[in-house]
Amino acid sequence: MEPKFILLLLLHFSTVAKSAYNVVDFGAKPDGRTDSTKAFLAAWAEACGDKIPATMVVPSGPFLVGRALFQGPCKNDKIGLFIKGTILGKTGYSTASEWITFKYVKGLSIYGGTFNARGQSLWACKAAGRNCPNGSTALTISQAKNVLLSKVKVQNSQNFQIAIIFSQEIKVEGATITAPGNSPNTDGIHIHMSSFITITGSTMATGDDCVSLGEGVSNAWIENIKCGPGHGISIGSLGDGTETTMVQNVTVSSVVFTGTQNGFRVKTWATPSSKGFVRGVTFEHGTMKNVGNPIMIDQNYCPVPGNCPNEVSFFLFLVCFASMIVGAPDHYFVVAY
Ligand SMILES: *[C@@H]1O[C@H](CO)[C@@H](O)[C@H](O)[C@H]1NC(C)=O
Ligand SMILES: *[C@@H]1O[C@H](CO)[C@@H](O)[C@H](O)[C@H]1NC(C)=O
């Protein structure tokens, strides 16, 4: 074990936890072949059912885990999930829209771990233009509150790598998210209907947006991110339905984009019946290296040309670019307010 990992474990134990549940004690096998889904769920049930702060431990792997829903509400609000090894998804694909999900949980900290979804066969299906399912999001935080993901690695998702939906107070720090630049829809972190979301010190290489902020996102802070390859950091797309949609109070600061399609982007559909707004957004201190469109605001977003409404949009934008540094291709500065 890394000394840091042991230290974290000890700290967690000495301060709060009385019980630790190791997935191996529930039958999980670190051989990468034995289906350990039930063992993981059984360990979770114990940690979640504890009336005192509890710890779930995943030692060095690899562990093969299928679709798994780690569900609350739990009887305590301080669960530590310490993952040393790799969690492997099953090869092939199903119609499930999520692989690993934490739902209805309040007070969870996940330290470490590699989640390798092995999305290659689904990407191949999509690339061949066959009739394929959308694919699963690798790691979903849903209807949760006060969740920390610390130094988590997510790889090769079938669809979004991490999704934060209908949740509050979620912090992602030191994440490493990787998928090939040509893998379809593998957004690094997608956020939807959530507030008080912090993402810091993370590296993302994906086939789609590094971070995408969808409908109903407010009070988000994104800082110190390395993005590329990928499509950049995007708000939207918004307004493709008739719903009222908004994004507000978002700061994106100190992002280095390398070889991305876009840098900072806002995309909205020009649907006349759609009511909503994007406001209080600050994009600042961006560094662009070999970026297609460093800044893009598209109020007539249309992924399939000819197939979209093109009325004037009702969206009001208050987007501020503060001290933006654009370094592509040489030293080229744009300062926009
Ligand atoms: C697949 O994604 C499309 C586009 O987002 C969506 O309209 C459709 O309902 C999804 N299908 C399934 C089975 O989830
Ligand atoms: C804006 O979001 C930040 C978190 O990113 C939060 O600290 C701040 O209180 C929010 N401001 C308002 C007015 O809600």
Residue of 12, 192, 231, 285 with catalytic role: 231
pLDDT, residue 66, reads: 98
- The response to whether residue 224 sits with its C-beta less than 6 Å from ligand 2 reads no
- Entry field: residues in the chain: 337
pLDDT, residue 327, reads: 43
Amino acid at 102: F
The span from the CA of 193 to the CA of 216, in Å, is 4
What one-character DSSP code corresponds to residue 25? Answer: G
The span from the CA of 238 to the CA of 277, in Å, is 9
Q: 266 near 235, Cβ under 8 Å?
A: yes
Residues of the chain with pLDDT under 70: 1-18, 242-244, 274, 310-337
The span from the CA of 179 to the CA of 185, in Å, is 10
Whether 192 sits among the annotated catalytic residues: the reply is no
- The response to whether residue 94 sits with its C-beta less than 6 Å from ligand 1 reads no
Ligand nearest to the CA of 252: 2
pLDDT, residue 144, reads: 98
Q: For ligand 2, what atom is nearest to the CA of residue 221?
A: 5
In degrees, rounded to 5, the angle at the alpha carbon of residue 113 between the alpha carbons of residues 122 and 256 is: 75
- The response to whether residue 134 sits with its C-beta less than 6 Å from ligand 1 reads yes
pLDDT, residue 2, reads: 55
pLDDT, residue 213, reads: 96
Q: For ligand 1, what atom is nearest to the CA of residue 134?
A: 1
Q: Tokens 């590699």 sit at which residue?
A: 114
pLDDT, residue 89, reads: 98
What pTM, to 2 d.p., does this model score? 0.90
pLDDT, residue 337, reads: 25
In degrees, rounded to 5, the angle at the alpha carbon of residue 264 between the alpha carbons of residues 262 and 270 is: 90
pLDDT, residue 305, reads: 75
Q: How far is Cα of residue 308 from the mean position of the Cα atoms in its chain?
A: 28
pLDDT, residue 271, reads: 72
pLDDT, residue 299, reads: 75
3-state secondary structure of 26: helix
